[in-house]
Chain A
Amino acid sequence: MEPETQAVDLTAYLSEKIGADNLVVNGITKVEQGMSSETFFFDLSYTKNQNEVREEIVIKREPSGGILETYDLSKEFRLLNSLIAGGITVPQVLWNEPDAKIFERPFYAMKKVEGDVFNVDPRRPSKLMFNDDERPSLAGDFVSNIVKIHNFDWKNSDMGFPADPGKDNEAVIRQIEQHEQAIDRAGYRSLPIIAMSINWLKQNSPEIDRLSIVHGDYRIGNFISKGGRIQAVIDWEMCHLGDPHEDLAYILSPAWRSADEGLVNHLMTEGEFIKKYQEMSGISVDPYKLLYYGGINIIRGLDLMCTAAKNFTHGQSSDLRDGIHAMTVDFLLEALMGVITMLTAS
């Protein structure tokens, strides 16, 4: 994390929001690892109900560039509120601020979750993370959280998001179309590989047996852990309704495995993951759907990489990581061809 000097003074605003006296912002730190929305840690001291308090709060602000197109963070705020009520381990959100004048762009605030985030670079093999003592309990939490997410009763929640995409396979068709539009806006829909793959995936989409909340980015690097337990599942920007196999294909992707042991998300073998998941969720894992959603996940990756390339080209991003993302497009196209080839053969 790098310290960031903010020209904006939020002291009065935060005092009012927290209901605090004598509030002092001791420091603001921006998390540099994020590639989508911006995350800031605010170190605060204040008096409340005659008690001296020192705490850090987290502010998540809408992005100005990066790999995601501009989106409404208030949806994520409402989603997190609902998920907490459903017993899913997520950070406790505090308030949503739609007024862009306060802190340059809309944001929401949440309590800081103590613990560590273990990030890996999907473009290269990574040595095994976590120690052997904490791995079994982390593996258990990893499976139980995704099971809770997939079994969450979204129909009877007040999240107001994601919108109900309708029945059968409409959710995946709509999802492909959204990615297709983003890829088109970035200027990459005219590549024959993308055109062929999108057409194929649309024409061969399997039925969705159970429409669930899909996290969309559930992996190592997107949970906070401490003492061998997952304290919070984070980064919900990609969340939507869909087939649970989409998350499962993503979780099982080679990108998140340890280099030498091939452990899924550095936690367990593929067989252990699938066995535990099926036992706990009651959802039967379908190998064809895993492969199909592997293709969908690559299309989603292309959406992100092409958007990053567009932002990089048009000067909306001065982050060189977006430049490398533009070059990652060819790698994803190769992977996509591999998946489509296997799908057409099966």
Chain B
Amino acid sequence: MKVSIKTYISNINDVLANIVLPSVDMGFAKIQLSYAIDMLNQLQNRVEYRHDVIKDDYIAAKAILDLICVALNDNHVDIPKDIIHHIESNSPDGVADTISEDELTRMETASTKVLDLMYENSTQINNFNEIEKNVLSLLRQLTKKKAGLRVPTINLELLES
């Protein structure tokens, strides 16, 4: 689950309009703040999470699912029926550019289910350590990509000086 962009904007505006704005005395600052609130409101229905980021998450979840399902199958561990159709869905190369957040959630949930299953049956899986290492490698690649999205935190000490 992610907090939606709509929720972020709505909550930011709620605090700006009801808590910050009434305590701003300076005319120019008050006007700028009210325009910022208005702009954020207008943006609310125009922005969404980046599709390439959602797609990366989806491809990683799908790759983990496929990897573990092969291992489970090879080691005669039953794969739940509701997972099967996720295995049969697109290969990572064929994933559409516009994966929805709901599709991602479904794929991540399926991937998590087989991960849990893999650990429940770890003693039954011959090459468990190797599979675990490969899963870890996929997850590490994903977190590395995501690190690029972060920007430095605002420095309050500078604001206060």
Residues of A within 8 A of B (CB): 121, 123-124, 127, 186-196, 199-200, 202-203, 309, 312-313, 315, 318-320, 323, 326, 330-331, 333-334, 337, 340-341, 344
Beyond A186-B1, A320-B12, is A199–B115 a contact (Cβ under 8 Å)? yes
Partner of A337, one of B19, B143, B156: B143
Is B108 part of the contact surface with A, judged by Cβ < 8 Å? yes
Chain A residues lying within 8 Å of B139, measured Cβ to Cβ, are 192-193, 196, 337
Query: Would you call A121 and B112 a contact (CB within 8 A)?
Result: no
Q: Give the complex CA separation of A192 and B112 in angstroms.
A: 5
- Mostly helix, strand, loop or mixed at chain A's interface? helix
- Mostly helix, strand, loop or mixed at chain B's interface? helix
Partner of A189, one of B112, B119, B135, B157: B112
Q: Tell which of B105, B112, B140, B147 has the most Cβ of chain A within 10 Å.
A: B112
Query: Would you call B147 and A341 a contact (CB within 8 A)?
Result: no
Query: Would you call B115 and A312 a contact (CB within 8 A)?
Result: no
Is B32 part of the contact surface with A, judged by Cβ < 8 Å? no
Query: Would you call A320 and B11 a contact (CB within 8 A)?
Result: yes
Q: Name the 5 nearest CB pairs between A and B, nearest first.
A: A187-B1, A199-B119, A195-B112, A334-B143, A190-B109
A292 to chain B, nearest CB (A): 16
Is B8 part of the contact surface with A, judged by Cβ < 8 Å? yes
Beyond A124-B152, A330-B149, is A309–B112 a contact (Cβ under 8 Å)? no
A314 to chain B, nearest CB (A): 9
Beyond A124-B155, A320-B15, A333-B143, is A203–B122 a contact (Cβ under 8 Å)? yes
Q: What string of 1s and 0s marks CB contacts (under 8 Å) between B5-30 and chain A?
A: 00110011011000100000000000
Residues of B within 8 A of A (CB): 1-4, 7-8, 11-12, 14-15, 19, 60-61, 64, 105, 108-109, 111-112, 115-116, 118-119, 122, 132-133, 135-136, 139-140, 142-144, 146-147, 149-150, 152-153, 155-157
12 pairs across A/B with beta carbons < 8 Å?
Answer: A121-B156, A127-B157, A190-B105, A191-B112, A192-B135, A195-B115, A196-B136, A318-B19, A320-B12, A330-B146, A337-B139, A337-B143
Query: Would you call B155 and A192 a contact (CB within 8 A)?
Result: no
B118 to chain A, nearest CB (A): 8
Chain B residues lying within 8 Å of A199, measured Cβ to Cβ, are 115-116, 118-119
A183 to chain B, nearest CB (A): 10
A284 to chain B, nearest CB (A): 29
Chain A residues lying within 8 Å of B61, measured Cβ to Cβ, are 192
Chain A residues lying within 8 Å of B119, measured Cβ to Cβ, are 199-200, 202-203
Chain B residues lying within 8 Å of A127, measured Cβ to Cβ, are 157
